[in-house]
Chains A and B, each alone.
Chain A
């Protein structure tokens, strides 16, 4: 107990991390900002902000089009970002990284372009009970269109996935096995390696929702051997409105376009149109160029700190936070998963999560209260909302200590 309660030491490469994020210098309601809502969106380092500013002030032009210098520079910067992401995820080829608006659009793209042409009425899509709405609703829409069936693998009371149940549900009619890597609501880390292996053995394609895990862990798509992996840039210290997906090239090659328009075509005529190869086939229209460039710089930023360093430190900090919360008066943790990353959900005996959030906000502490876009998960725990604390690499034990002190104020008002 004593070990987990002592605060983690900040490693050398993270000691100055807070200074890299200008927003952390601001005050909220007269108190220094304590930002513990990183599962919703992370803050941006100065280098990302500068890259976006530089693009608009020095390089702004459309990509993949003009012969002029600005367009060439913008194209090079945008494509360089794709390369950085491909190396970050250890994709076999840069063309396996497709830019989208974020994880949500990525799931919708995979549903439309890959899964839908494969399914017959009665075929199945498999997910878990702890998915974000972004990995539920696109499948419900697909089921409505095709007559496919959405199967949901159960979870245990501690917030762990019932992995045996999940694996047993991969059957002859399963057309996709999908799972969230790290739960945004309760922090559970799912055994995606086992899911991918089992699905692969049965010839079932896999989709991993890495929206949360990408900011906390080392991801290697070749080692994982997944077919698709989706993520959002703004949860990785990059701008909003940009994200992407990794897709195995052999699958991407056979997929139909998601949207039609400029930049995704090989040749257009009124007699028929042909499409470019991946990734362009799935990137119709002018993309969020500044966002893509910013995402590349965000990846550089994490590499400069070291993903393993970040992962080790964060896993100690989240344990420290879970332990302190668990021992705080009136606090009930929602989900105590065997492996946790990034987030902790809790409720309090006398105060609703919404009230907790407001009281903490007056102390400068930003947390999330609500259903976290995981209503089925909330229903599973027989609650309508939780208060959620979620960390990123710039958080420290003082942030957690400030949170715990402020919870005493919640008790004083509502206890």
Chain B
């Protein structure tokens, strides 16, 4: 069966990739992480500002394809004003939802569902998960600093 381009490049995803939210450096970030997909060269940095175990600001910088860009943009919108622990749990489960072909992706009223199109394009799964992996790395880095 022919994979459907329309399901990969949904309007929500294209909107985020054309006009991403929070695509900027964050000079007063508490923690940051930069990840690269060595396969394609996509590069994404996630910057976070945290206060009392909450994420108060989030931004990203990327040299990447539309899917990675949109995923990072939605990520920043999703995590701001959320407790770190909840964000970590959510990010892990989202990565699993995107990567595991057996798992359905249905988040209530959530732009992030637009990422589910990559399931039909296995070579693009990492494009969607890369920013979330960077987010987890940034939070792990913060925890290390704390310890």
The residue that B9 contacts in the complex, of A29, A375, A413, with Cβ under 8 A, is A413
Tell me if A60 is interfacial: C-beta within 8 Å of chain B: no
Binds A, one of B24-32, B61-69, B71-79, B105-113: B61-69
A384 near B3 with CB under 8 A, answer: no
B1-44 to A contact mask, C-beta < 8 Å, 1/0: 01101001100001000000000000000000000000111110
Given the complex, which residues of B lie within 8 Å of A371, measured CB to CB? 40-41
Q: Given A352-B65, A354-B65: A384 and B9 within 8 A (CB)? A: no
The residue that A362 contacts in the complex, of B2, B43, B64, with Cβ under 8 A, is B2
- A292 vs B77: C-alpha distance in the bound complex, in angstroms? 56
The residue that B8 contacts in the complex, of A351, A358, A370, A384, with Cβ under 8 A, is A358
| B interface residues, tally (CB under 8 Å) | 21
B64 near A352 with CB under 8 A, answer: yes
Tell me if A272 is interfacial: C-beta within 8 Å of chain B: no
- A385 vs B64: C-alpha distance in the bound complex, in angstroms? 9
Question: Which residues, 312 to 364 on A, are CB-close (under 8 Å) to B?
Answer: 351-355, 358-359, 362
Tell me if A240 is interfacial: C-beta within 8 Å of chain B: no
Select from chain B the residue with minimum beta-carbon distance to A29.
Answer: B2
The residue that A385 contacts in the complex, of B8, B9, B41, with Cβ under 8 A, is B41
Tell me if B138 is interfacial: C-beta within 8 Å of chain A: no
Tell me if B124 is interfacial: C-beta within 8 Å of chain A: yes
Given the complex, which residues of B lie within 8 Å of A370, measured CB to CB? 39-41
- A384 vs B130: C-alpha distance in the bound complex, in angstroms? 16
A385 near B40 with CB under 8 A, answer: yes
Chain A min CB distance to B8 (Å)? 7
- A414 vs B18: C-alpha distance in the bound complex, in angstroms? 9
Tell me if B127 is interfacial: C-beta within 8 Å of chain A: yes
Question: Which residues, 44 to 74 on B, are CB-close (under 8 Å) to A?
Answer: 63-67, 69
B40 near A369 with CB under 8 A, answer: yes
Chain B min CB distance to A381 (Å)? 12
Q: Given A355-B66, A414-B66: A30 and B41 within 8 A (CB)? A: no
Chain B min CB distance to A269 (Å)? 45
- A369 vs B123: C-alpha distance in the bound complex, in angstroms? 12
Tell me if B90 is interfacial: C-beta within 8 Å of chain A: no
| A interface residues, tally (CB under 8 Å) | 19
Tell me if A236 is interfacial: C-beta within 8 Å of chain B: no
B42 near A384 with CB under 8 A, answer: yes
Chain A min CB distance to B102 (Å)? 23
B41 near A359 with CB under 8 A, answer: no
Question: Which residues, 361 to 415 on A, are CB-close (under 8 Å) to B?
Answer: 362, 369-371, 375, 378, 384-385, 413-414
Given the complex, which residues of B lie within 8 Å of A355, measured CB to CB? 9, 65-67
A354 near B9 with CB under 8 A, answer: no
A362 near B3 with CB under 8 A, answer: yes
Given the complex, which residues of B lie within 8 Å of A362, measured CB to CB? 2-3, 5
B2 near A378 with CB under 8 A, answer: no
Among B2, B9, B69, the one with the most A-chain Cβ atoms within 10 Å of its Cβ is B2
Given the complex, which residues of B lie within 8 Å of A29, measured CB to CB? 2-3
Among B5, B43, B69, the one with the most A-chain Cβ atoms within 10 Å of its Cβ is B5
Select from chain A the residue with minimum beta-carbon distance to B9.
Answer: A413
Given the complex, which residues of B lie within 8 Å of A414, measured CB to CB? 14, 66
Chain A min CB distance to B118 (Å)? 10
A352 near B66 with CB under 8 A, answer: yes
A354 near B127 with CB under 8 A, answer: yes
B41 near A351 with CB under 8 A, answer: no
Given the complex, which residues of B lie within 8 Å of A384, measured CB to CB? 41-43, 63-64
A358 near B41 with CB under 8 A, answer: no
- A378 vs B63: C-alpha distance in the bound complex, in angstroms? 12
Chain A min CB distance to B126 (Å)? 10
Given the complex, which residues of A lie within 8 Å of B66, measured CB to CB? 351-352, 355, 414
- A355 vs B40: C-alpha distance in the bound complex, in angstroms? 11
Given the complex, which residues of A lie within 8 Å of B69, measured CB to CB? 352
A sample of 19 more A-B contacts (CB under 8 A), given A354-B124, A355-B66, A358-B8, is: A29-B3, A352-B64, A352-B65, A353-B40, A354-B40, A354-B64, A355-B65, A358-B124, A359-B5, A362-B3, A369-B40, A370-B41, A371-B41, A375-B41, A384-B41, A384-B42, A384-B64, A413-B9, A413-B14
10 intermolecular pairs with C-beta atoms under 8 Å apart:
A29-B3, A351-B66, A352-B64, A353-B65, A354-B65, A354-B127, A362-B5, A369-B40, A370-B40, A414-B66
Which 3 pairs from chain A and chain B are nearest by CB?
A: A354-B65, A352-B65, A371-B41
